[in-house]
Structure 1
Amino acid sequence: MKIEQIYTGCLAHAAYYLESNGEAAIFDPLREVQPYIDRAENDHAKIKYVFETHFHADFVSGHLDLKKKTGAEIVFGPTAKPGYDALIAEDGQIFTVGAYKVKAIHTPGHTMESTTYLLIDEKGKEHGLITGDTLFIGDVGRPDLAQHVVADLTEEKLAGHLYDSLRNKIMPLDDNLIIYPNHGAGSACGKKMSKQTTDTLRHQKATNYALRADMGKEEFIKELLTGLTTPPSYFPQNVMMNIKGYDSLDTVMDRAKKPLSAEAFEVLANETGALLLDTRDAKDFAKGFVPNSVNIGLDGSFAQWVGEMIPDVKQEILLITYPGKQEEAITRLSRVGYDNTIGYLKEGFDTWKNADKEIETVGRITPQELELAYASEKPLIIDVRKKSEFDSEHVIGAINVPLNEINRNLARFPKDRPFVIHCAGGYRSMIAASILKQRGWDDFVDVAGGFEEMKNTGIRISEYVCPTTLL
């Protein structure tokens, strides 16, 4: 069977391309659709269907642009009510793609419209199951997202539906089926996802905690809901975009690709109140940046951290990028629904610097310099990694303020004494540093290289949960 997984690491997202006898189908596409169109054209195939497993929360799907550009029919599962033309499949309905068949299996739980798609080859053999966010490798979809859109869909109700869907719809299928999920490790749509992006159903039954044969419904619900973190605030906003519709990516790009001089950039920032988003690497940002700009580097989990740190997808944005990187930044912003980029600094930060505009910097120290200070002065150290990372191991005496909670915990950063911030490698701590600078903090330094390099020094590391004194 000709099925291809198209994986995008920065979103931990998998789309799928199916082709047979000149017909193709795309499952859960990303916002930029031209690569899918090009892929089909290379096969001399016409895209017949765009199958959606559910209304996604962590990205804006490309189904509307694919329909507009190719004439493909959009397919959702039972109970879906999109604000645009789409085919709403019945449970068990079969679609043909060339010599292949695609069977829709309604599997509510992650969301009520969640649907998996059984792939059947030209000989009638069941080959694989595209599971969306219903079943991951090592995990299952979190059931607490839909309630942020529909209040009476509690996480307990959805978890119960998911239990039934897994036991009654998926686990009875052929053990040799290949499982093709929508996400891998790093996605916020689950909590224990594997780095592997495909597996057999047989192996998942043997290793996935949620598929244990002896697990009852109440135990499943309890275990599934334990340890869920608060979902990013952009998730329900992306869901509504996927339900109601959105601007074409071409429109978003036309609006955003406006090169600005330093003077025009400054005027537009003052007139609009736009967020200044600097996508350069942490080391370059630290050496000099436009005052009040926030650093989220492109060479990291860019879209996910944009979604975590910028609450409103409608926020107007002005970009500072390396020259030639503005289109990539605009595209990756649009993947998570941030469609209101209104321009970028022409030729990047050098344009600002060469115009003799005001510049700010972030102080950085090496782990070795911190080691010397730690031995004599015991500086206040604030660790902005996730709680699970901090609990695993951390500098003795450090305080944990996870980056995604920083805006709710600014009071824990002192203004009357110096402090040190760090993360694992320097990416997240520079996001934190830029936010602190924007909010008026100055007397702090960031650790270049972060915790991973600090472990190679003589700084004392705790490998267990150590009580700390809150500020």
Structure 2
Amino acid sequence: MFFKQFYDEKLSQTSYMIACQQTKDAIIIDPSRVLDEYEEVAYKQGYNISYAAETHIHADFASGLRDAARKFGSRLFVSDEGDDNWKYENMPENTVFLKEGDTIEVGNVELKVMHTPGHTPESITFILTDHGGGSEEPMGMFTGDFLFVGDIGRPDLLEEAAKMKGTTELGAKEMFNSLKKLENYPDFLQIWPGHGAGSPCGKALGAVPLSTLGYERQNNWALKAENEESFVKELVSDQPEPPTHFAHMKKVNKEGLPEFKVKEVDVGTPEQLPGQIFDLRSKETFSEGFIKGSINIPFNDKFLRFAGWYVDFNRPMTLIADPENSEQLQKDFASIGFDDIALIVPEDKVEQYAVASYENVQPAELTADYEDKNILDVRSKSEYRKENLKNAKHLHFGQLTSEDKEIPFDKEDNIYVHCQSGVRSAIAASVLKAEGYENIINVRKGYNGIKNELQT
């Protein structure tokens, strides 16, 4: 048997390729939308990507499932469990819809389906047995967003992101029961999860790429829980705020997206810039001069985790970026379901549009008489609850443009903005400027610097 794990650091998302070395058939599990890596590995190893499967309808990234059918001719396997509201639509005619106890045969490798609702109603786990290697015992399980290293999948995304009221408590109770199914399996079973540390699909995901069931029984709080009521309370508390693009991902992964293809994106400096504007320069360079209405998300490893909060999927996009990164930027945005990059303005050509700026200050300038200042804390709710400035107002940096949230200051106010270290507050400063708040002051070093200043 051939085994390969793929990890997308920008989304903390994990996918897998399994192949039978005798028949040369391969399956990709929870594939991301850009299929290049899978194609390269399959070609190098001499495998055909005959199949593709998913553990559930994903909310945090755009699926490559349907593109695998288009590009490789893969036969698709998806869940037919759970609520009728979350059934896959617009699937190829030969798609196999899976129920508890069904199996997928990839040559001499078997994947058995276990229904594990909780994170979502249709969630399934694939239990792998390598018959080609002479084993009748399972080797491991692909748990998707059911079981992570050190944590389990959150049950509140349907309610928080997709606005399906009343689903959080039901999902938490289903998760409690799903975990009981693991009691039938041995400690040596390997756990291959769908995400790693940094993913908002749980609150305490481990950074190591895999685990064993025995290790999780000893170290994962959820597998040690015996009381349903306390389990539910713990599971639903202090979950991170879900990015706004999650609701869109749920919809497009259920219904499907057009096939992704890299295109030629226009590069230039027209008088009018189309659609929403994202500026990918450093926060230091951006603050000195930028296009009014643009949002600053520096192009680094955390780019997508931040950008997803602000993308308008109904409008084209202008990017202030290096045109040499056009292909990679298209792939990155495609991985959260956005394909409409209309224009790239080169970073060194932005001065002609730059009519706005904001001020950066050191923590000492804030802490001097901070009780009399307008302070906006844009950290997560859990960070804010742990410790904060007593007169600071709180609003998560990603929720500044949310229709159901209100910025707690007037547009004419002088507003000091801080996060934990200064990264998220710089993004927030650009968003607030785009929303018409002119007197924005970003606090460098964030709460870390503020706290140090107050202690000296």
- Give the structure-2-normalised TM-score: 0.88
Q: Which residue of 2 aligns with 1:267?
A: 272
Cα displacement string for residues 90-145 of structure 1 (whole angstroms, at most 9, x for unaligned residues): 32222232432222222222222211111112222321110001111222112223
Q: Which residue of 2 aligns with 1:194?
A: 206
Q: Which residue of 2 aligns with 1:236?
A: 247
1:81 pairs with 2:88:
yes
Q: Which residue of 1 aligns with 2:57?
A: 55
Residue identity matched to 2:124 = T
Query: For residues 322 and 178 of structure 1, do their structure 2 counterparts lie closer, same or farther at Cα, with a shift above 3 Å needed?
Result: same
Q: Percent identity?
A: 30
Which residue of 177, 180, 186 corresponds with 1:164?
Answer: 177
Shift of residue 187 of structure 1?
Answer: 1.5
Aligned counterparts of 2:381 and 2:301: Cα–Cα separation in 1:
20
Instruction: Say if 2:144 and 2:193, in contact at 8 Å, map to a contact too.
Output: yes
Gaps of 5+ in 2: 82-86
Query: For residues 94 and 373 of structure 1, do their structure 2 counterparts lie closer, same or farther at Cα, with a shift above 3 Å needed?
Result: closer
Residue identity matched to 1:267 = Q
Secondary structure class of the residue paired with 1:389: helix
Residue identity matched to 1:164 = N
CA-atom RMSD in angstroms: 2.5
1:384 pairs with 2:378:
yes
Query: For residues 372 and 351 of structure 1, do their structure 2 counterparts lie closer, same or farther at Cα, with a shift above 3 Å needed?
Result: closer
Instruction: Say if 1:146 and 1:153, in contact at 8 Å, map to a contact too.
Output: no
Q: Which residue of 2 aligns with 1:66?
A: 68
**Which residues of 2 match residues 442-461 of structure 1 at below 5 A?**
442-455=438-451, 457-460=452-455
1:210 pairs with 2:222:
yes
Q: Which residue of 2 aligns with 1:327?
A: 327
Does 375-384 or 62-71 show the bigger shift?
375-384
Instruction: Say if 2:395 and 2:407, in contact at 8 Å, map to a contact too.
Output: no
Q: Which residue of 1 aligns with 2:281?
A: 280
Secondary structure class of the residue paired with 2:337: coil
Aligned counterparts of 1:150 and 1:359: Cα–Cα separation in 2:
38
Query: For residues 90 and 38 of structure 1, do their structure 2 counterparts lie closer, same or farther at Cα, with a shift above 3 Å needed?
Result: same
Q: Which residue of 1 aligns with 2:367?
A: 374
Instruction: Say if 1:396 and 1:460, in contact at 8 Å, map to a contact too.
Output: no
Does 106-115 or 94-103 show the bigger shift?
94-103
Instruction: Say if 1:315 and 1:338, in contact at 8 Å, map to a contact too.
Output: no
1:436 pairs with 2:432:
yes
Does 146-155 or 405-414 show the bigger shift?
146-155
Q: Which residue of 1 aligns with 2:139?
A: 127
Instruction: Say if 2:266 and 2:342, in contact at 8 Å, map to a contact too.
Output: no
Cα displacement string for residues 315-374 of structure 1 (whole angstroms, at most 9, x for unaligned residues): 3211111341232222212211222222221xx132232xx3443222212x3xx31563
Query: For residues 167 and 376 of structure 1, do their structure 2 counterparts lie closer, same or farther at Cα, with a shift above 3 Å needed?
Result: closer
Aligned counterparts of 2:240 and 2:453: Cα–Cα separation in 1:
33
Q: Which residue of 1 aligns with 2:314?
A: 314
Residue identity matched to 2:303 = F
Does 291-300 or 399-408 show the bigger shift?
399-408
Gaps of 5+ in 1: 462-471
Q: Which residue of 2 aligns with 1:469?
A: none
Instruction: Say if 1:109 and 1:165, in contact at 8 Å, map to a contact too.
Output: yes
Q: Which residue of 1 aligns with 2:401?
A: 407
Instruction: Say if 1:78 and 1:106, in contact at 8 Å, map to a contact too.
Output: no
Query: For residues 81 and 420 of structure 1, do their structure 2 counterparts lie closer, same or farther at Cα, with a shift above 3 Å needed?
Result: closer
Aligned counterparts of 2:164 and 2:388: Cα–Cα separation in 1:
38
Cα displacement string for residues 27-52 of structure 1 (whole angstroms, at most 9, x for unaligned residues): 11111101111111110111121110
Residue identity matched to 1:141 = G
Residue identity matched to 1:103 = K
Query: For residues 239 and 416 of structure 1, do their structure 2 counterparts lie closer, same or farther at Cα, with a shift above 3 Å needed?
Result: closer
Does 189-198 or 388-397 show the bigger shift?
388-397
Shift of residue 153 of structure 1?
Answer: 7.0
Instruction: Say if 1:300 and 1:427, in contact at 8 Å, map to a contact too.
Output: no
1:100 pairs with 2:120:
no
Matched positions, count = 440
Residue identity matched to 1:57 = A
Shift of residue 451 of structure 1?
Answer: 3.4
Query: For residues 248 and 3 of structure 1, do their structure 2 counterparts lie closer, same or farther at Cα, with a shift above 3 Å needed?
Result: same
